[in-house]
Amino acid sequence: MSGITLEKAPADAAAPAGRAAAPLLSVEQLQTHFRTPDGGVNRAVDGLTFHVDAGETVAIVGESGCGKSVTSMSILRLLPTPPGKMAGRIMFEGRDLLAASEAEMRDLRGNEIGMIFQEPMTSLNPVLSVGQQIGESLRLHQGMSRRQAEARAIEMLELVGIPAPARRVKEYPHQLSGGMRQRVMIAMALACNPKLLIADEPTTALDVTIQAQILDLMRDLKRRVGAAIVLITHDLGVVAEVAERVIVMYAGRKVEEAGVVALFRDPKHPYTQGLLGAVPRLGSSLTGEHTRLAEIPGQVPSLKQRIDHCVFASRCPKATELCRTVVPALEEKAPGHVAACHYADKEELVAA
């Protein structure tokens, strides 16, 4: 998109300790900005850095509008240009995806990187059968014949736990339940045995029973297929179930990153503390705990304005004048645990 100049974003700190020498996916200083109808610029993702190792499950969490889904679409270069503009580096197995041609990206999408979209009913084509939609990527990327692709589609439907797959492969999306449609999306994403699977809110709009089945399925498929997973979600319960490492985003920036156990046990950033404080605790009334859910006061700052201080300062109970004038660096507050907060508790880091 011509006419948009991407300002230099606040630099992320080095990745947490324990990082693999050659990650499968490495996102470095990603900026994804959009031109707004009034001529302004919306900084949807503003200087995001993270990595994903082979076979690892990394969750990206945050409230709606924080840049989670835009990040996933940026990785696969599925955003419209114009009105979007990206800068930074997205390295996948040593290849810079932002520098790749559109033909190279078409070869990559659905083949080496699979994606599960939020709404299967709107993502699936209503006029093509389930088997045709799964088989399309197999014929394109694997060179299979129509008969071979249908046989593989039946195998994939069986793999994701859909009963009577030989019959279901000929049915259309409207003939399936919401849970089955989500399983079809997973089957499509895994059909070509991708090395990386991006799951954007895979359990949204599903009832809790089906959610549990989908999460069990993703864990089981990860063990069997061995793909790395980037899980995009706002549901911390889902994160606790399947993730190994968590990235917390707020207003387009990463504010905290840690292993899932460390993050839930000892969140460092006030925003993460607020998110965890807002999670209901089952059984609290039975134990006599009648604590109110925490709330985060205020509103998310406008992403149309360049923020040259802590993005959470306007809503943070700990904020001081320092927070309102200086951007906090992402610092390691504990081994493998980074946060962008001037006042986050910092443990003594002992070299291994």
The string of DSSP letters for 128-145 reads S-HHHHHHHHHHHHS---
Share of the chain above pLDDT 90, in %: 58
Average pLDDT over residues 322-333: 95
pLDDT, the chain, mean? 86
Share of the chain above pLDDT 70, in %: 88
Helix/strand/coil for 220: helix
Q: What residue numbers bound the domain in which 128 lies?
A: 121-193
CA–CA distance from 340 to each of 71, 136, 251, 330 (Å)? 19, 44, 13, 4
pLDDT tens readout for residues 245-300: 999 999 999 999 999 999 999 999 999 999 998 877 765 555 556 567 778 888 89
State the CATH number of the domain containing residue 258.
3.40.50.300
Note whether residue 44 is domain-resident: yes
176 confidence band (pLDDT: 50, 70, 90): very high
pLDDT tens readout for residues 90-126: 999 999 999 999 999 999 999 999 998 877 778 899 9
Note whether residue 285 is domain-resident: no
190 confidence band (pLDDT: 50, 70, 90): confident
Do 220 and 308 lie in one domain? The reply is: yes
The token pair at 128 is 């093509």
Do 264 and 328 lie in one domain? The reply is: yes
Q: Using CB atoms within 10 A of its CB, is residue 110 exposed (0-12), middle (13-18) or buried (19+)? A: buried
Do 47 and 92 lie in one domain? The reply is: yes
pLDDT tens readout for residues 65-80: 899 999 999 999 998 7
Q: What is the DSSP string of 143-176?
A: ---HHHHHHHHHHHHHHTT-SSHHHHTTS-GGGS
**Is the previous residue joined to 16 through a cis bond, with omega within 30 degrees of 0?**
no
- Report d(CA 269, CA 331) in Å as an integer: 11
204 confidence band (pLDDT: 50, 70, 90): confident
Return the half-sphere exposure (C-beta side, CA atoms, 13 A cut-off) of residue 142: 22
Domain boundary among 162, 193, 224: 193
Do 295 and 238 lie in one domain? The reply is: yes
More reliable by pLDDT, 11 or 155 = 155
3-state SS track over 322-351: CCCCCCCCCEEEECCEEECCCCCCCCCCCC
Domain boundary among 158, 176, 193: 193
Do 252 and 207 lie in one domain? The reply is: yes
352 confidence band (pLDDT: 50, 70, 90): very low
128 confidence band (pLDDT: 50, 70, 90): very high
Tell me what pLDDT residue 31 has: 95
Q: What is the DSSP letter of 268?
A: -
- Report d(CA 112, CA 97) in Å as an integer: 12
Tell me the pTM.
0.87
Give the total number of structural domains in the chain: 2
Q: Using CB atoms within 10 A of its CB, is residue 171 exposed (0-12), middle (13-18) or buried (19+)? A: middle
Average pLDDT over residues 21-25: 86
